[in-house]
Each structure stands twice: as structure tokens, then as C-alpha cells.
Structure 1
């Protein structure tokens, strides 16, 4: 169905209150967008991190009376002295199909292709992972996932056990299995990620070699030859005592989801247990790898 979008310029101090006011006028959703496209990373639990100059965007049914909406907002204390706004008609699209059309097969390293499950495989002789991420994170399009896939492609995984900590869509665990790993273990806090990983493993014919766990259900004493964790810098630092004991002695660790500016603090959390390699960067993101001492 078609929609109407109302955009009001605000600040970090006023945005949440204005968002509530827009919802009270009948908006079906409200989002916040940085006016200057400044990224914000790692909000604290329960925190809505806003920018200095913030657009508050309300989405309305196409039948909504926007004159009435503006009239209601104009008496709000934060807006009574006048406010800048923009009203736009949004084209009615099949947004899922729109996304699918722009997700193409991608090559990582020398052997590995990540292929959307609804597209043709470009190289039948390559190592192909058929992927449908569902509601979970991980398609290979983000630099952090790309860095992890390239790293896995460069390892000798034949006969190895791999742990994918924060498995999302299962893309890293499944890629490891397709690259020769004997067994993979995926761990994620999101049940939707566990389901997406399970579906993708079945799609790739490796479900019999992939074990999936929510943290509360994972077995004690898990160990692996290779451990990869593509999450965020904060959790990687906080969970270092948990992640750091997963590789066997001589096993390898790969971490990503880290901005280059955060690399030193993440490295510091792992230097006591790992001989770390030089940090690899891609588009302001980085990968940290090392060998367990």
C-alpha cells in the first residue's frame, strides 16, 4: 500500500519527545535519521542514541489528513514557535523483492562464493554457499562479514571444528563447512538467527554437521580448532573471557564487527591468550586474528 512520510528536523534533545508526539497524531511508525549521515555505534542497552541534528520521520497511511497532523503538531510546546517539515508520498513497492533484486552473488578469497538462494550460481565448480538470511544478520555485503569470509577461505579447514560465535544467518559456519570443516557450532542470542542458520544449513546440505545453540543451551567445555566472532567491539571486549577459552591450544581466532578506531582496545582484551596477527582493515572496519597460546 502507498504511504505518506513526514520529516521534521530536530535535535538529539528533542527528537524522542517529538517522535512520541508524531505517534500520537496517528503515525504507524517513527524513525530517527542523522541529518549529516554521521554513524552512531553501540548504544547502551535500552538507550536510543541520537545525533546533534536529527530528522524525525513519521510514516502515515496514504489516507491520513496531513493538514490535521500538522495542526496537531503545531500546538506542541517544542513546535509552537514554528518548525521545518517535509511531506512526501512514498512509492508503493514490494520492499522484500526490491532487496532481493539487489542481492547478487559475491566472491570471497579464491574459492568461495556466497549466492542468494533465488539466483543462478555463477561458478558451479566453486565452493558455493546458498544463502537466504531471513531475519538474521549476515549476507556478505557488509565489510565485516566479507573480512571473515576471506579469512576462512585462506585457512586449511579440512577436518577441523569451527565455532561461529554470534552466527546470525549462519553464513560463516556454513562457509566453513563447505570449505572442508568436519563440524561447525553456531551460537546466537536470537532465536530467529538460530532458525535462519538452520534453514540455510539445510539449503546447503550441511545441517547434519552444524549444531546450533542459544547461549543458555550450549554445552559446557566447548572447544574448536577455529573460532570466529563477527559481532561488535563492546561485546567482544566484555566477552573476551568466554570467547578466549573456546579455541584449543594452537587454534585460531578471528574477530570482526570492529571499527578500525576500536581495534587497539579489542586487541588488548585478547593479548594474554593469543599471539595476534597484524590487524586487517576494510572500509573503516577491521579484522583481528590470532593463535591461541
Structure 2
């Protein structure tokens, strides 16, 4: 008798890698095979610009994941996989490429709902800062813990661009660089806040207040919730870009992409008070010189730290 015969799996999760052109026919094929849900994910850790009106951008390389209910259908996993192969096999030229990436995993009841919990662990950045999921109960002596779960908006610290910003913040506040230019703790602007992770980290590490800015309403929703979770919501305000006019902060962080950073060089430079610090990320190595030149033209000389193929640029406004 098979080992799981008395406690059969309730769900089958099937995933295939594809391109944007494959998404619609592949989704239809998976639903035809009996999938109860189909979701899309990034297969190559590619950041996306905020979409314009009417645009729905997709990653260049995607993973399509389908969930099949084995309990209700009474089907065996092998039969479901065979059905997937049959329906995807009708897609013509892409079929062989798609099926070559097929992966299947049997899941126990309800495990699929929170399976990501096993993959999202507490992560250290620098000497004190940790990004910790809400269900993690471990005690870390002398740690500054930022509670954050995967959610609506990008930014949990797993990408090199976010990781470098978090490490910079830990070093900045641990070394108390801010005390060299102001008696009170620094003010912060988190431009393109995503999940709010950078502004919240700065507040937990010692900032006085933070403004979080993003053109994505979901990002602002996630930021407010994460600020509440970390009990800094009384010191973090979400604002629209026009509300930044005339404002300055001691520390401005912007983890977006090279193109927008260059386009916004004048605006972001003006947000940094004289003597204040600017941190930019989301920049590939071969884009760093163009970004540095854009800010040098506004009086800020940027230094570059690297992780994998990404740069984190930081400097001080004179």
C-alpha cells in the first residue's frame, strides 16, 4: 500500500515557466484540465516600472502556477498531470518548451494557503537590523526587528536592491552619522516606498519621522499596514508626490529604477536638505555612471556599493 494511501494529498500544485505571449492560452489549458486557480509569478526576479494608464505589464519570464483540488475531484495526481500534458500539448509550437518546465507537488489540506511561510525566513542586515515575518517568535538579543510579511507590494528585503538599502540604513544609524549634522534624530523620505520597508526600518533604527511616497495605491495600503504592525504609524505619513513640494529631509531613500532616478534627479536632489544624505537603488552596474552624473549635476556626488549585478548609490548634499 502506498505510504500516503490513508492520508491522501488534498491538492496538486502544477507550475510551468512561460513568456507573456503564452499566458492566456496556457491559463485556458490549465483551467480546461481542471485547475481551481491559476496565478502568475516572476521567474527571473525582474523589477517592473509602475504601469501607465491602461497598461498591464508582465515580467519577461513568468511562472504560471495552477492548483488542483484532488479531494473534491477524486482524481489522482498522475491523472491530473496527464490531463495537463494533454491540454498544454494542444498549444502547438510552445507546447514542448512549456512542458519541459512542468513541475508538480502534492500538498496536504490548507498547506497551499500558507506554503510561502516556509520560504520566508528572518533575515539580518548589517549589525542590528532584522526583517522578521510576523509568525517568527525567536528572541534576538539587541536586535532591531522589522516585522513584515509578503503581501501586496514589492519589498521584503530579499532582492539585492532592498538588501543594500537596509544594510546602509543599519550602518548609518549604528555609526550615528546623523548626529554629525543635527542634534535631533533625522527626518526621512521614502520615495517609491513599495511595502514601506525602508521608511519603517529608518524609524525603528532611530529616525524622527518619515514620509512615504508611491503612485501605487496598493503600495500605500501595504505601507500603512506595515507601519501599524511595527508600531511606527504615528511617525510615518503617506503623502502624494505634489505634497513633497518645498519639503526637505535629512535622509532621502529611493529604491526604484535607473530611468526614473535619472528623470527625477532634480526633484530628489531638492528633497535632501543641505548636509543631508541621499540613497538610491534599483540601478544595474552598467547604469550607475549615468545615474551618478545626473546627481553630480545637482551637487551630490554618489558612491557605489555592489551586490550581484546591482548598485546602491549614496552621497551627501553639500
TM above 0.5, yes or no, is yes
Q: Deviations over 1:49-85 (max 9, x none)?
A: 646xxx8857364559777776676666x549x8563
RMSD in angstroms over aligned alpha carbons? 3.5
The change in CA–CA distance for 1:70 and 1:134 in structure 2 (over 3 A counts) is closer
Q: What is the aligned counterpart of 2:252 among 223, 227, 234?
A: 227
**Cα shift at 1:32:** 8.3
Match of 2:164 in 1: 147
1:204 aligns with 2:222: no
Query: 1:7-156 counterparts in 2 under 5 A?
Result: 7=16, 15=22, 18-19=25-26, 22=29, 25=32, 28-29=37-38, 42=48, 45=51, 46=55, 47-48=57-58, 50=60, 57=64, 59=66, 61=68, 78-79=92-93, 83=96, 85=99, 89-92=104-107, 94-155=111-172, 156=177
Assess if the C-alpha contact under 8 Å between 2:220 and 2:238 holds in 1.
yes
Matches of 1:22 and 1:83, distance apart in 2: 14
The change in CA–CA distance for 1:248 and 1:33 in structure 2 (over 3 A counts) is closer
1:246 aligns with 2:232: no
Assess if the C-alpha contact under 8 Å between 1:281 and 1:287 holds in 2.
yes
**Cα shift at 1:13:** 9.6
Moved more, 163-172 or 87-96: 87-96
Q: Deviations over 1:5-25 (max 9, x none)?
A: 475x88x69646754764785
5+ residue gaps in structure 1?
A: none
Q: For this pair of structures, how many residues does the alignment match?
A: 282
Query: 1:180-195 counterparts in 2 under 5 A?
Result: 180-195=206-221
Query: 1:255-274 counterparts in 2 under 5 A?
Result: 255-274=280-299
The change in CA–CA distance for 1:164 and 1:32 in structure 2 (over 3 A counts) is closer
The change in CA–CA distance for 1:132 and 1:67 in structure 2 (over 3 A counts) is closer
Assess if the C-alpha contact under 8 Å between 2:12 and 2:106 holds in 1.
yes
Matches of 2:20 and 2:193, distance apart in 1: 36
Matches of 1:142 and 1:73, distance apart in 2: 32
**Cα shift at 1:88:** 5.4
**TM-score of the pair, normalised by structure 2:** 0.72
Matches of 1:13 and 1:144, distance apart in 2: 25
Q: Deviations over 1:230-267 (max 9, x none)?
A: 12222222222322221112211001122222212222
Matches of 1:73 and 1:113, distance apart in 2: 43
Matches of 2:149 and 2:45, distance apart in 1: 27
**Cα shift at 1:199:** 2.1
Assess if the C-alpha contact under 8 Å between 1:43 and 1:49 holds in 2.
no
5+ residue gaps in structure 2?
A: 1-9, 179-183
1:287 aligns with 2:287: no
